[in-house]
Structures are given as C-alpha cells and as structure tokens.
Amino acid sequence: MVLTAKLWRFSVVWLPLLLALTLPTSAWAFSEEEVMSRLRSMVAVLDRTETAVRAGDQSGARSTYQGYRDGWAEIEDDVRPRARDLYRSIESEMRNVNASLRGQPLNTQEALADVARLRAETTDLIERLPSTPAASSSGGTSAGMTALLSELDAAAVALADGRAADAAARIDQAQELWPDVEGAVKVKSPSTYSDVENNLALASASLKGSADLSTAASAIDQLQADLRPYGQGGLTYNAFDAGITVLREGMEALLVVTGLLAYVKRTASTTAQRWVWGGASLGILASIGIALVLQVAFSQVPTGTSRELLEGITGVFAAVMLVYMSYWLHSKANLNAWNRYVDERTTAALARNSMFSLALIAFLAIFREGGETALFLLGMMPSIALSELVLGLGVGTGLLLALGVALVGFGMSIPIRPFFLGTSVLIYYLALKFVGSSVHALQVAGVAPATPSPFPPVEIVGLYPTWETTIPQLALLAITALALAFAYLLPRDRPANVGPA
C-alpha cells in the first residue's frame, strides 16, 4: 500500500503540469468611455474633411479622412458585437467616402453627400451604443466566409465571361458580407485583413465607370488566394486527442519508473526506491516549470501573423517529435529490447551504488515525457475547447492512475509489444492531425501557399482541401505503413510483458 500511496501522489501531481497549460490569457479592449470619446473625435475629423472638400483641397481631404479610418480601426472590434447593423453601414459608407475622395476629378457634391451620410451613421452609433449590450458570438464566421468566397468565385466567373455588371454586383455583395467575417481575419493576420480591405475597394472601383477589367481580375484573384485558407474551417481537437496524449506520455514515464523499481526491489534497498521516487517527483516539478514557461511565452506572442506562424512551427515540430517517438517505440517492441533499455540504465548505477544516478534516470524519464506533453498540448491549445481539454486531461490522468496502481500496487504486468504498437497507431493519428493543422496555420499566416485539391475536408484527421496540407499527410501515411510493417516483421523472442518483479 505504500507504493500505491506514492503512485497516487506521483499521478495526481501530473495535473498541475497539464492544467498549467490551460491558464487563460485575457484580450484587452477599450472601455465604453474610450470608444465614445474616439467616436466623437472621429466626427470632428469628418467636419474637417468636409471643410477641405468645400475648399477643393482633395489631397488635404484625403489626408484628414485618414484620421477617421485610423480611429475606426482602433475601435471597430469593440463596436461590431454591439451594433452590427450600424457597423456594416459605417463600413459601407467609409468605402463610399474613400472612393469619392479618390475620384478624378473630385466630385465635390458627391463627396460632401458621402461624408454627410458617414457622419450621420457615426452620430447614430454614438447615441445608440451606451444602451446596447454586447451580442454573443453567433458562430457563423465559417458560414459567412463560405458565402463570401462563393461571391468572389461567382465574380471571377462573370468577369471571365465578360459580364462586368454581374461581377460588380457580386463584389458589392462580397463587401456586404465582409464585415461579418473580417474580425476573424484581422485577429489571425492583420496584413491579410488590410490587403482584403484594399482589394475589395480596388475590385469595386475597377468595375464601375470606365471598367478596368484587368485590374479587377487581379484584385479578385488575390482576394481568393488570401481568403481561401479561412474558408476551409478550423481543425478542432477533442477530449480524446488530449486524453491519449496524456495517457501515452504518462504511460511511457510510468513504465520507466516501474522498470527501475522492479530492479531496485531485488536489492531490497528502500533507500534506492526513495531515490527513484525522488527523481521522478523532481522530474514532475521541472515539467510543470517548463509548461508554465511555454504557456506564458506563447501567450505573449501578439495575435496575428506571428501567432499563426508560431502555431504552425510548433505543430510541425510536435508532429516530427511524434513520428520519432513512434520509431523509438518500435525499437522497444519486444521484451529483450525493452529489458536492455532499462537494464543498461540501472545496472551501472546499482554496480556503483550510485543513488544519484538512479534518481537522475527517473528524473530524465519524467522530464522528457513532461516536456513532450507540454509541447503537444500547447500545439492543441488554439484549436480545442477548454471543456474538452479539461475532460481529456481528467480522463487521461485517471486512466494513468488506475494503470499505475495496477502495475505498481498490485503487480499486474502488461504486454509490451501490443501496448507499444497500439500506442504507435494513436501517435501517428495525432501526428496526422498536427501536420494538417500546422500547415494550415502557416497558410493562414501567408507563409505557405494554398492550392485547392479535390479532396473534401475531413476534420477528424485534419484533412484540408489543399495540396500543401494533403501531400505531407499522404507521405506520413506511407511512412506509417512502412513502420508498422517493419514492426510486425521484427523477431518475437517470447511474449513480452512488463511489470514489477
């Protein structure tokens, strides 16, 4: 029962490591007073813009109006959920003002009318905002992006057929849909957000008056390329993914500690056992530390392209580590190989009567698995609901505790070969998802291209309809097939079971 009690503490202490990764990070927003103050300043900017227009100073009007655009960019994320209809109206009127101020020659009456309408919408927003509660997210971003891309596709087809008027109507509709999804784009990539804003305006202007079809086509092509990754949906991990990560990583550490305890038990040395448990405990504390450092470092990365780039790189590295771990498991998938692995690390320590060496072996085993767990869960964090993450951590830790009690407390043995091969399959499954989601994150960051493929999206395995995400996954499947075939062809000395001696 002493071992069982120690194992309970050993297993439960994993929870701080795992929960350290769930520490929330808060997003800063303007207070209502600050938003109202900025809106009033923006109305004053429109007054000065109108004065410049009346004086025929087109350059001055455009320069002054930029102050309104800058102010709006600061507060629009706060306004959008509070007054979506006015938000869309202001976005539309801003495009009109921008177009009229750039007209050659300047149409004074049109520009004054556009500025007046924008001022009226802004004033209306000032009056309404204090009494309007924030609306909850409708979760319709994905559907809105699909609709927006559909309009862009239709505009491209119409333009290719020479139907400029139809293309212009489609672009107008795309501009109406854009406010519903721009927030998601702006959070992930401010540069893409800015490019889309500019190209929507450019496409619209190029299709009106003396239409410039070449410029319009180029703008639409760029819009499709920029927004396509966002229309593929976001991969979500679930409790199963988090749970098997914890269980597999924890089980490998548990097997190492179990092997150490089995060997030192033969010496009847309670001191050696204490050193093993001490090293394992220090390994857990070090793992908690690295988890906190990684989580804090990741949370300090600003949202936008840098965040997406970091998520993509982290995910790719995690996938590589997962594949390497599977290779390691295959190399230990028979009894002799596993015994050699543990024996080589314990025999020398026992021969030297080095308790520190035993503790170091246990420490490194736990710290390596804890660090890998932190890395893998960090890769999942942007794409998993907190409830799913906590559920997966809880179930995985509970199963790990039960298996640990059975192994150490009651002397149960497990078949090493089936266990390692089975967990290898689960690891390759996770690696497949990591590869797809990571390359997709790089596409959203604008680092990787997005070439459409005929494959439908399959969320459960992280499949996206682009060749850049699909080809690495197909390569990984081929590697998996070869690795599993090689593992099954390995000579089997005798049934491989590991448990306390």
pLDDT tens readout for residues 3-29: 444 444 444 445 555 555 444 444 445
Residue 42: pLDDT over 80? yes
* Model pLDDT for residues 302-336, shown as the tens digit of each residue: 544 455 555 566 666 666 665 665 555 555 544 45
How sure is the predictor about 102, in pLDDT bands with cuts at 50, 70 and 90?
confident
Q: Is the model's pLDDT at 481 over the cut of 70?
A: yes
Residues 66 and 361: their CA atoms lie apart, in Å, by: 63
CA distance 108 to 452: 45
* Residues 6+ positions from 489 with CB-CB distance below 8 Å: none
360 to 239, 276, 363: CA distances (angstroms): 33, 8, 5
Token match 């007073």: residue?
33
pLDDT (tens digit per residue) in 404-452: 777 666 655 666 566 666 666 766 777 787 788 778 777 766 677 777 7
Query: Is residue 134 over pLDDT 70?
Result: no
User: Tokens standing for 130?
Assistant: 């204090």
Mean pLDDT of the chain: 73
Neighbours of 351 (CB within 10 A): 9
Q: What is the DSSP letter of 155?
A: H
In angstroms, the CA 346 to CA 422 distance is: 27
Q: Which residue has the higher pLDDT, 493 or 98?
A: 98
Amino acid occupying residue 264: V
What whole-number percentage of the chain has pLDDT above 70? 62
Place of tokens 């908690």: 288
pLDDT of 55: 93
pLDDT at position 362? 74
- Residue 303 sits at φ, ψ, to 5 deg, of -65, 150
Global pTM exceeds 0.85 = no
| For range 448-473, the mean pLDDT | 80
Residue with tokens 């309970």: 8
What pLDDT, on the 0 to 100 scale, is given for residue 62? Answer: 93
Q: What b/e string do you get for 38-50 counting C-beta neighbours within 10 Å, with b at 16 or more? A: bbeebbebbeebb
- Position 65 scores a pLDDT of 93
Core vs surface per residue 102-135: b (16+ CB within 10 A) or e = eeeebebebbeebbebbbebbeebeeebeeeeee
Q: What is the DSSP string of 176-229?
A: HHHHHHHHHHHHH-HHHHHHHHHHHHHHHHHTSSS--HHHHHHHHHHHHHHHGG
Beta-sheet strands, E only, within 42-184: none
pLDDT value at position 365?
67
Distance CA(107)–CA(110), nearest Å, equals 5
CA distance to 181, 182, 416, per residue, from 141 (Å): 5, 9, 46
Assess whether pLDDT exceeds 80 at residue 52. Answer: yes
Please state the domain extents for the chain: 2-24+237-498, 32-129+139-232
